[in-house]
Amino acid sequence: MSALERFDRVTGRFTEVVAGVPDWAAPAPVEGWTAADVVAHLVDWLPGLLAADDVVLAVRRTGNPAQDWARHTSAVRALLASPRAAEPFTHQHLGTLPLAEAVDRFWTTDVLMHTWDLATASGQDAGLDEAECAQLLAGMEPMEEVLRASGQYGPRVPVPDDAPAVDRLMGLVGRDPASRRG
């Protein structure tokens, strides 16, 4: 699957969850965040990453999370559909890789994981693909120490080894899957 195809699938699901949010002030499973903060995070951090290689992706937030998300994903999709997507992207911490791969590996994957957060905040089903979550989990577990040291993830939440991959992935990144079960 291409980076653009994965982008469409993952952001499409997130967009569905965005459309179902009844209360943007609802607490999210990230300490101190609301549902609106989940969207703001995803809209805000990619332009900074891309600016490291002089890629401009500037979409001003309006304060309307659904509108901000739609405008941002439109800009990201245009970038991924452009010839620039195949060009090298260089970042001091990531090295050099095609721009589309950098967006896919880091931002689209973040969207996938934050889909769970927004769905949890709004009482919806995240609808995450079990096989994709198992693949992410397998790739992230060997790097757990590095991930944890980045400060981007909370403490690992213990989850049974036989739990669904979605739950084990969420536990790895510091979310409590039991919070979904009420």
Mean pLDDT, 10 residues at a time, the chain of 182 residues: 94 98 96 95 90 81 95 95 94 89 94 96 95 94 87 89 95 88 44
Identity at 156, one-letter amino acid code:
R
Q: Look at residue 13 in the predicted model and tell me its pLDDT.
A: 98
Burial of 128 by CB count in 10 Å (0-12 exposed, 13-18 middle, 19+ buried)? Answer: buried
Q: Look at residue 58 in the predicted model and tell me its pLDDT.
A: 76
Q: How far apart are CA 30 and CA 2, in angstroms?
A: 30
Q: How far apart are CA 35 and CA 68, in angstroms?
A: 13
Q: Which two tokens stand for residue 142?
A: 């060997």
Q: How far apart are CA 44 and CA 61, in angstroms?
A: 8
Q: Which two tokens stand for residue 111?
A: 């969207």
Q: Look at residue 1 in the predicted model and tell me its pLDDT.
A: 83
- Rounded to the nearest angstrom, the gap between the alpha carbon of residue 141 and the centroid of all alpha carbons in its chain is 17
Q: Look at residue 53 in the predicted model and tell me its pLDDT.
A: 76
What DSSP character marks residue 27? Answer: B
Burial 30-52 (b: 16+ CB within 10 A, else e): beebbbbbbbbbbbeebbebbee
User: What ranges make up the beta strands (E) of the chain?
Assistant: 88-91, 95-98
